[in-house]
Structure 1
Amino acid sequence: MALRLVADFDLGKDVLPRLRAQRALSEAAGARGCGAGAGDVLENNYESLRVLNVERNGNIIYTYKGDKGNIFFGLYDCQTRQNEHLYTFEKDLQVVSCSVNSERTLLAASLVQSTKEGRRNELQPGSKCLTLLVEIHPVNNVKVLKAVDSYIWVQFLYPYVESHPLPENHLLLISEEKYIEKYRIQVTQEDGNRVVIKNSGHLSRDRIAEDFVWAQWDMSEQRLYYIDLKKSRSILKCIQFYADESFKLVNFGCDCHQDQEKLSKHLTLCVFTNHTGSLCVCYSPKCASLEQITYSVFYIHKGHSKTFTAALRSAGSHVTKGITFLNLDYYVAVYLPGHFFHLLNIQHPDLICHSLFQTGNNEMIDMLPHSPLQSLSGCLVLDCCSGKLYRALLNQSYLLRFLWNTCLDCEKMAALHCVLSCGRGLQVLEGQIIQWVSENVSACHSFDLIQEFIIASSYWSVYPETSNVDKLLPYSSVLTWNTEIPGITLVTEDIELPLMKVHSFKGYWEKLNSNLEYVKYTKPHLHYNNSVVRREWHNLISEECSQRVVISNLEARNLEPRLTPLLQEEDNHQRLLMGLVSGLWDRSTPWLTCCFVILPSKGHGSAAEFAVFHIMTRILDATDSLCLPLPPGFHTLHTILGVHCLPLHNLLHYIDSGLLLLTETAVIRLMKDLDNTEKNEKLKFSIIGRLPPLIGQKICRLWDHPMSSNIISRNHVTRLLQNYKKQPWNSVIDKSSFRVEFLPLNYFIEILTDIESSNQDLYAVQGHDNVDAEFVEEAALKHTTVLLGL
């Protein structure tokens, strides 16, 4: 299953054993005559045990009934993993909502009276809902805040993460009568640890909102979302509560195109945010069809919405549950138990191929709970029926297996991004992805898999740490996608950008505003295009070439045309390009490491070498198209593999066409490591002949061969005689100074010796050491011997 639910809390394991142990102790005490009331701890069936609230600090409030119907409130401390009894109401009541302040001194609870049969009341007209404020440290007074005929939801604000006492507590009351109030509760400490409410007879309160039709609380960020209906227009609003301010209203002005009747009945509506400044509104009406189901996602941070229509698994299948939306940071999970599971990419929703759509199967039915799930802040999910608090995560292992098995290009694209978005895991996982890419490099027809992996892996590796990187660097090699997704139809519409009434942007609001500004001023939406980088790249190369020409003129060196340059291990061009796209390869080098690892230590042209050479050629083509740099050592390895795998004429064609780039390291290895067989001599001569003269002469010195000496000698003689003017020759050759009676050679060597003795500056030029007339004489004799076959 692509979704993995990890239980952070379980009523059955973290609370129930303690309560049973407490009950056993109480029953034992009652048997010893310690009082009949000692057994009133928990009713026998434990059905009343349920989670009521999860506070910002992670503490969980739960409730249960005793044998006599008394209501107990308990708290599970997520830090110490200990249970604490908060308060007991000695009445048979039904708890609607409750919250405790961060100091655990005040308890707010909303309760209704149970029916005579003991069943939970559905709040019929005339029934009373009591909203109480209780001093619990130690147990003191109980104050009635509300006594009305509608449900009240209560929530203490947690403006500080720290646990130091606050002089004032703020309590939200959200009424079913469509208004929201905030109470200011000042407390004082008396007689040591005794905490009491100041001016309990009159608590100040503020009316925050009226006539809303829907509300959602974000406990982690202390935000309250609600929808106002003004003249049949739905407007999404948000109140951000801060420690240094009462509250701040944010008006998104988002029109969901729903009237009051639709919003108040059969509604599934969720607002999700994350730290990157994204804001999504997920909406699903009641399902009326037996063949398909529809839901909408408003990507407010992107300025558009998408309405998805999913075909149900089988025609006429019965839908008993509604759609569930879960926040997974960079993704939103949408699933209908037994029918489908979708992972929507909220960072890059433009193309449907970046989202994963799966049809329901037995594994999905077994893994996902069928009971309603409540998505809390972050990635927390509460199963109210079982009393379990989960942390929802993407399942990397499943997604990796899915990569190997899927045949659809759209699913390969989506699953690859899902895996990489989970973060940089172990090297084993990275190696598996690289292996999958290598084995499927030609299996994708809609996009270049190597390009997508290079861009996506680089993007997702730096994205969590770098803000606005998606506005600067590409996240995908695909700019358009026209292929349909099986079982999914999609309608995309532009939406009005929100008008945020915020005095000062900070934190999340600053990032959201940045996203909105980008959308506002870049319409139509701009996609990253490497043509800009390519243009700058060619400009830099041109500048460098111009500088080389100037230097060459100063040194009187003329580079012959159509000669292959010899690159350093990390040549100048690579350095320039690295500067343009800095950091893209910093965390993508495992690919190159993988290539070195699978190379055999012996043998030439093995199957493994052919496979790696093919992959590296594809990598080179992919990065060249994207104008991306390659890591140092890539061209050296590529050339060595080419020598092992290609016939000579193909190898030279690859070099001449620029598919293989010669590096100094690679050429030196070839000159030193290859023996002087006829095949290797042809290879060495062919490579030396393709290098600029001065570089070729330098490389020749590394090769101990008569023909190498001949090339060096020819270059030396050409340099000495290029400005030589014939002078009257009066000297007599001293035959005793020559070892061989070969007068033309002797005469020529004497001329060279005379020029060398009169022009000592020739030896100051770098690269001309150890080459003189004597070296030329020896090389000429060896070459003549070879030609004559002596």
Structure 2
Amino acid sequence: MALRLVADFDLGKDVLPWLRAQRAASEASEAGSGGADVLENDYESLRVLNVERNGNIIYTYKDDKGNVIFGLYDCQTRQNELLYTFEKDLQVFSCSVNSERTLLAASLVQSTKEGKRNELQPGSKCLTLLVEIHPVNNVKVLKAVDSYIWVQFLYPHVESHPLPENHLLLISEEKYIEQLRIHVAQEDGNRVFEVPLDVSLSNSGFKLVNFGCDYHQDREKLSKHLTLCVFTNRTGSLCVCYSPKCASWEQITYSVFYIHKGHSKTFTTSLENVGSHVTKGITFLNLDYYVAVYLPGHFFHLLNVQHPDLICHSLFLTGNNEMIDMLPHCPLQSLSGSLVLDCCSGKLYRALLSQSSLLQLLQNTRLDCEKMAALHCALYCGQGTRFLEGQIIQWISENVSACHSFDLIQEFIIASSYWSVYSETSNMDKLLPHSSVLTWNTEIPGITLVTEDIALPFMKVLNFKGYWEKLNSNLEYVKYAKPHFHYNNIVVRREWHNLISEEKTGKRRSTAYVRTILDNAIKVISNLEARNLGPRLTPLLQEEDSHQRLLMGLMVSELKDHFLRHLQGVEKKKIEQMVLDYISKLLDLICHILETSWRKHNLHSCILHFNSRGSAAEFAVFHIMTRILEATKSLFLPLPPGFHTLHTILGVHCLPLHNLLHCIDSGVLLLTETAVVRLMKDLDNTEKNEKLKFSIILRLPPLIGQKICRLWDHPMSSNIISRNHVTRLLQNYKKQPRNSMIDKSSFSVEFLPLNYFIEILTDIESSNQALYPFEGHDNVDAEFVEEAALKHTTMLLGL
């Protein structure tokens, strides 16, 4: 199932045996009888009432005399402790203990048994008490009103630095909250309480419900009305989940108000199994980055609350699905920290998303929307773990064309790189893209969605700290982030093209600037190699590839500037490391995808030579490399140095000549100096190979082409060298009147047009006006040109 419930606490196992042992010891000392029946009664009344922020659990039960007993289970020591006993038959529906376990707040109502007199103040149904449980049992009445009051102590962020005073919240069903500051002082050897401070919210337009674990309210009555839950998480999100009374069992509607995003979404889902009557209401569970919404036996939804804009980032499962049917059908209550309470059994679970189930869904579902959602959910669960990434990459390498609505490789690279640095700062979701998909117009089967803007809350707080600081940051971003702050490679693309153009024309800017860019690339590769301890199977990162290094270095520079602009207060050194980690992760994922395919098809280093024919395995790797190139090209992401060389070698192995040249001309294959040098050295001069070499040389940039021609001892190569030499000599040549007659005795061949042309070249070379030596070829002159022309003509004529 998509959601795993891992038991953290069980009343029957963690508390009941201890209570039985305590009672057995008491009964033995009193030599009483009927202990078994009493224990059974204790078990029936045993209830969990609250889970404090530190994880400690408060429970209550009634003994055989009707006394209400409070106990605490310490989640760290796994020990139980009795806190306090009320010697009255009262019903407790809310309680909380401070972090020092010296104060207990409890809200109680009178038991409804007939014949019992009203022990509370006349006209009141709820009594809220503050009890000093250590060292003296002083009791103070905080409220005696005709409405329910929930209580909760506020715990400090750092337990080692306790607050100088205790803070207690009183939450009323009449739409107000009071905060009591409780000072503990010494007076005649005893402790007293002082100075309450009320913070009234009576005019606000919301009502807090589901606070604590309440067993007193009529569950059946509540199930017939709306369900409303308020969820927060550490990233500063605030969601209000609302489900109205169900008017029809054919469709279920619920709304989620993303307060931190400034909009709401109303979801309507059709129920497939209408024949079975829905007896339970919708359950909302807080899973930190997600909110789970499910109706047992009918549907299970995972809503991405951090990135709710695109519906494809949320998962919607409906119908008879084993991922739905395995969830418990009993009422569950969501608590803080992804904790879930089973109110019937008294079990406390930690709700976790199941990586294995999400990977299974990713592999088996046919819908692109579910693949997208499952991929993001799985990466959220794994948060950059190598094993999970390996499983996803293994599937991608076998199903690279499985998605039609988005590029699977592209989405995986962007999302996984995002999660690799997500935890470094809370604002990373605003600065880095988490997805390559910008719009999604495809409908989700069985789901109708309506999105509406909502008013942003007004925050009037002097000093924002912790959660409130993050929430305020989210609200400020919604107000003013037009356009978005997400990084993109537009500037890098423009600057990279400028540098390449400068390289071709030989008019590059200062070498210091270029050296700084290339130094950035060296840092990225060093960082990448430090993260990868094992040897690499593929021949990547082993050559210069200055173009990819320039792209890498430019991305470092631009992304660092982007972070420095928007991450105020973060050290520059930390920002630099985040940038290196992010770009290193991008490159590492590309290497990982390629190595997975390489290992799967059992390729060896012999494919690096051109003297072998391509196999089906090589073609499969060539295909995955082409898809990687497509994914990175549209986003303008760097590739590991050596990628283009390997891609070209595989292309020469696997493709017919006309397909190979088409791939080169269309930019699918990028010729590198390393690949072409190897091609010239490995292949002999058969007719087929000559045609290949000549076609390649013609497509090389001039500077590289001049170097490569030196390596090919062939008339065709000499012809190209001669053409380049003549072009340079004649580019500024102006025809002059010539009175001299050609001396035939000086030429070995009587071919007047060629003789005349060679005389002109010789004349230019011997003049003082312009001598253009061919770089690296001092022996290239008019005589070399004549010889090359004759050889080429002889070859063409077949003589």
TM-score by length of 1: 0.77
Q: In the alignment, what sits opposite 1:55?
A: 52
Shift of 1:646: 0.6
Shift of 1:658: 1.9
Q: In the alignment, what sits opposite 1:10?
A: 10
- Residues of 2 paired with 1:365 and 1:622: CA distance? 35
Letter in 1 for 2:200: I
Q: In the alignment, what sits opposite 1:236?
A: none
Q: Which moved more, 1:44-53 or 1:539-548?
A: 539-548
Say if 1:102 and 1:163, in contact at 8 Å, map to a contact too. no
- Residues of 1 paired with 2:123 and 2:663: CA distance? 89
Match for 2:93 among 92, 96, 99? Answer: 96
Letter in 2 for 1:110: S
- Residues of 1 paired with 2:715 and 2:646: CA distance? 29
Letter in 2 for 1:197: R
- Residues of 2 paired with 1:502 and 1:190: CA distance? 35
Q: In the alignment, what sits opposite 1:595?
A: 594
Letter in 1 for 2:330: S
**Pair 1:371–1:127, CA change in 2 (3 A):** farther
Normalized per residue, which structure has more strand? 1
- Residues of 2 paired with 1:573 and 1:512: CA distance? 36
Shift of 1:676: 4.8
Q: In the alignment, what sits opposite 2:675?
A: 666
- Residues of 1 paired with 2:615 and 2:22: CA distance? 72
Secondary structure in 1 matching 2:584: coil
How many aligned positions are there?
715
Q: In the alignment, what sits opposite 2:339?
A: 380
Letter in 1 for 2:548: E
Matched, 1:433 2:392: yes
1:34-49 aligned at under 5 Å gives the runs: 42-44=39-41, 46-49=43-46
1:524-603 aligned at under 5 Å gives the runs: 533-534=489-490, 537-538=493-494, 540-542=496-498, 544-546=500-502, 548-549=504-505, 551=507, 568=546, 570=548, 572=550, 575-576=553-554, 579-580=557-558, 585-589=583-587, 590-599=589-598, 600-601=603-604
**Pair 1:475–1:203, CA change in 2 (3 A):** closer
- Residues of 1 paired with 2:724 and 2:779: CA distance? 13
Q: In the alignment, what sits opposite 2:198?
A: 206
1:332-371 aligned at under 5 Å gives the runs: 332-361=291-320, 363-364=322-323, 366-371=325-330
Match for 1:501 among 450, 460, 468? Answer: 460
Letter in 2 for 1:586: S
> What are the Cα deviations for residues 440-462 of structure 1, in whole angstroms up to 9, with x where unaligned?
44343333334333333333433
> What are the Cα deviations for residues 369-408 of structure 1, in whole angstroms up to 9, with x where unaligned?
2222222223222222222222222222111111111112
Q: Which moved more, 1:134-143 or 1:393-402?
A: 134-143
Q: In the alignment, what sits opposite 1:690?
A: 699
1:252-271 aligned at under 5 Å gives the runs: 266-271=225-230
Q: In the alignment, what sits opposite 1:229?
A: none
Match for 1:276 among 230, 235, 240? Answer: 235
Matched, 1:215 2:202: no
**Pair 1:369–1:771, CA change in 2 (3 A):** same
**Pair 1:108–1:469, CA change in 2 (3 A):** closer
Shift of 1:48: 1.7
- Residues of 2 paired with 1:476 and 1:547: CA distance? 34
Say if 1:170 and 1:182, in contact at 8 Å, map to a contact too. yes
Shift of 1:36: 7.5
Q: In the alignment, what sits opposite 1:65?
A: 62
Q: In the alignment, what sits opposite 2:524?
A: none
Match for 2:622 among 592, 610, 613? Answer: 613
Residue segments in structure 2 that go unaligned for 5+ positions in a row: 213-220, 511-543, 561-578, 607-611, 752-757
**Pair 1:150–1:755, CA change in 2 (3 A):** closer
Say if 1:101 and 1:169, in contact at 8 Å, map to a contact too. yes
- Residues of 1 paired with 2:326 and 2:503: CA distance? 65
Q: In the alignment, what sits opposite 1:168?
A: 165
- Residues of 2 paired with 1:591 and 1:628: CA distance? 11
- Residues of 1 paired with 2:425 and 2:4: CA distance? 27
Say if 1:58 and 1:78, in contact at 8 Å, map to a contact too. yes
Secondary structure in 1 matching 2:341: strand
**Pair 1:478–1:124, CA change in 2 (3 A):** farther
Shift of 1:102: 0.9
**Pair 1:145–1:613, CA change in 2 (3 A):** same
Match for 1:80 among 77, 80, 101? Answer: 77
Matched, 1:636 2:645: yes
Q: Which moved more, 1:492-501 or 1:508-517?
A: 508-517
Letter in 2 for 1:206: D
Say if 1:569 and 1:663, in contact at 8 Å, map to a contact too. no
Match for 1:185 among 182, 185, 208? Answer: 182
1:279-294 aligned at under 5 Å gives the runs: 279-294=238-253
Secondary structure in 2 matching 1:661: coil
Q: Which moved more, 1:371-380 or 1:302-311?
A: 371-380
Secondary structure in 2 matching 1:483: coil
**Pair 1:573–1:774, CA change in 2 (3 A):** farther
Q: In the alignment, what sits opposite 1:114?
A: 111
Letter in 1 for 2:590: W
> What are the Cα deviations for residues 285-328 of structure 1, in whole angstroms up to 9, with x where unaligned?
12121211111111222222111111123235322111111122
- Residues of 2 paired with 1:757 and 1:47: CA distance? 114
Say if 1:60 and 1:76, in contact at 8 Å, map to a contact too. yes
**Pair 1:215–1:573, CA change in 2 (3 A):** closer
Shift of 1:783: 9.8
Shift of 1:486: 1.6
Q: In the alignment, what sits opposite 2:479?
A: 520
Secondary structure in 2 matching 1:570: helix
- Residues of 2 paired with 1:205 and 1:622: CA distance? 59
**Pair 1:753–1:461, CA change in 2 (3 A):** same
1:22-41 aligned at under 5 Å gives the runs: 22-30=22-30, 33=31
Q: Which moved more, 1:4-13 or 1:135-144?
A: 135-144
> What are the Cα deviations for residues 402-428 of structure 1, in whole angstroms up to 9, with x where unaligned?
111111222222222222232434333
Q: Which moved more, 1:567-576 or 1:586-595?
A: 567-576
Q: Which moved more, 1:652-661 or 1:615-624?
A: 615-624
TM-score by length of 2: 0.76
Q: In the alignment, what sits opposite 1:153?
A: 150
**Pair 1:123–1:105, CA change in 2 (3 A):** closer
**Pair 1:328–1:594, CA change in 2 (3 A):** same
Shift of 1:359: 0.8
Matched, 1:651 2:652: no
Say if 2:296 and 2:324, in contact at 8 Å, map to a contact too. yes
- Residues of 1 paired with 2:509 and 2:47: CA distance? 86
* Aligned alpha-carbon RMSD (Å): 4.9
Q: In the alignment, what sits opposite 2:420?
A: 461
Q: In the alignment, what sits opposite 1:197?
A: 191
Match for 1:452 among 398, 407, 411? Answer: 411
Normalized per residue, which structure has more helix? 2
- Residues of 1 paired with 2:81 and 2:105: CA distance? 16
Secondary structure in 1 matching 2:183: strand
